[in-house]
Structure 1
């Protein structure tokens, strides 16, 4: 599949990230107390969502990419299109005169996991017919990201999402699907995700969710137990490969997944196809400025390596190395390294966590 085009479709937004000044981490309830004025060090504006993060990372890594997403006919939409044009990647975008552009305000204080204030905007109007079927012809891979943040993708038990993947498979493409965190109190949180996965995964070659997203969707009681064990902290820090991650993976393979790459946060990445399995530990970043886009860009590296025909071990090395590179910058793209740079850094003894 080397040199073939990959289509990246789904959710896109504008990420607005206030930059906190350097200093010792503070508890979030003290840092953002009601009535308190918090002195900031600036703000970063970047494209976000799977279409921008994964799609543009693939472009940076040298892939031929077609982006398919939807923005509103407004200032935020024009700003997103301007950023995409810098990468020669705006051609496949839809501009909707009837929708606002999606945005996320990313609250990422030092030492604290990110909090997102999110407006889905035009993503909620995205449907199967927004995929340009003519552009599927001749492509090698179809990747879709963040259906939990796109209303029509989880409505009616995922009928539109299943139709998108059915068409991609009918066109002969390899396919992959990424997810996003789900708020239990929303319509997306009340959707029957086990049914949606059973309906969609038959058309998905490689399913690439985070471990928390996956457990919420596939095994809610297990997810609730994880939350209690974490006691308000990072869930991925309390998980065990044998008793937590492997059993969850078996459940998801039974729902129809062919290959499963689970993003497990700081510990690393878990891959299985039911026969082969690998756990790839994370590389140690030089600094951690923001986790924004780390999962998306690690998936971009994995997919690009697969397109290049790399062995599984190499694909996982590149994915882990790209995730570690990403967190060294505030945005999803500035910290990325080429595969050659990753090879050199790994060969020189890049420490793992």
Structure 2
């Protein structure tokens, strides 16, 4: 089967993750943290997951003219992601400050840095390309990506109100239950996926249930990259022509495999999870 081609447009970060027994309350200090540093950002996470799932992936985003930016470019290339569309922009490479507790739950502060300076007029998307985007970049970037795409998937996270032109361009919107409640404008999307954590996911077509899949039991280590792995798997599955029910079930399996890994870009044999027959 020919590998699907996917252009991912989104944020590229360095993740600074503190693993703790429990997250501090407001004004509290906890002293048992273990610090990890690694690549992240929703755009980069989804691009890496899609590449590991066998897609031919190009990433468009922005990094700073700094050691982190150069290291991330090398990392992406080593995995097989085409990073030629990654711009070197003003500001330092983006950083995410993440606290993960013993149950795998997380809280995140994103410092966008170079991600906020991506030139929307220089994305270089091949007209008609399949595009997956998220909301850690500006509306101008998302809108330009949507206009160029032949198939446009949007992971509407972190949730924020969306301009009408972006909503109208979406062939697929992916949200979790919290984002679904925050974004009533997506409820009647052409195709809407709502992820439900351990309960699985549902797919709606113009508000009508089209497919559903149960969650996959797993050991929760870190939920940071699980949603991104799910998004990549669902989009890659649909692009390669999988039935919607199968694509959704396999995406749930990939998300479960990702949540069992400590990293935002899971370094595991995710292909085995993707190959599970629902």
Taking structure 1 as the reference length, what is the TM-score of the superposition? 0.71
Unaligned 5+ runs, structure 1? 154-158, 183-188, 219-250, 348-353
Structure 1 partner of 2:157:
180
Judging by fraction of residues, say which structure has more strand.
2
Task: Spell out the pairing of 1:96-175 with structure 2 (5 A cutoff).
Answer: 96=89, 98-111=90-103, 113-133=105-125, 136-137=126-127, 139=129, 141-145=130-134, 147=135, 149-150=136-137, 152-153=138-139, 161-168=142-149, 173-175=150-152
Separation in structure 1 between the aligned mates of residue 119 and residue 179 of structure 2, nearest angstrom: 22
Aligned match for 1:51, one of 38, 43, 52: 43
Aligned match for 1:29, one of 25, 32, 37: 25
Separation in structure 2 between the aligned mates of residue 204 and residue 342 of structure 1, nearest angstrom: 25
Structure 1 partner of 2:192:
260
Structure number, greater radius of gyration: 1
Unaligned 5+ runs, structure 2? none
Deviations 1:257-286 (A, max 9, x none): 21001122232212111344223221001x
Structure 2 partner of 1:323:
255
Separation in structure 1 between the aligned mates of residue 261 and residue 204 of structure 2, nearest angstrom: 30
Post-superposition shift, 1:142? 0.8
Structure 2 partner of 1:334:
267
1:266 counterpart SS class: helix
CA gap of 1:132–1:342, structure 2 versus 1, over 3 A, is closer
Separation in structure 1 between the aligned mates of residue 19 and residue 8 of structure 2, nearest angstrom: 29
Taking structure 2 as the reference length, what is the TM-score of the superposition? 0.89
Number of corresponding residues: 275
Aligned match for 1:278, one of 188, 197, 211: 211
CA gap of 1:118–1:309, structure 2 versus 1, over 3 A, is same
2:25 counterpart SS class: helix
Instruction: Verify the 8 A CA contact 1:15 1:103 in the aligned structure 2.
Output: yes
Aligned-CA RMSD value? 2.4
Tell me if 1:198 matches 2:164.
yes
CA gap of 1:83–1:163, structure 2 versus 1, over 3 A, is closer
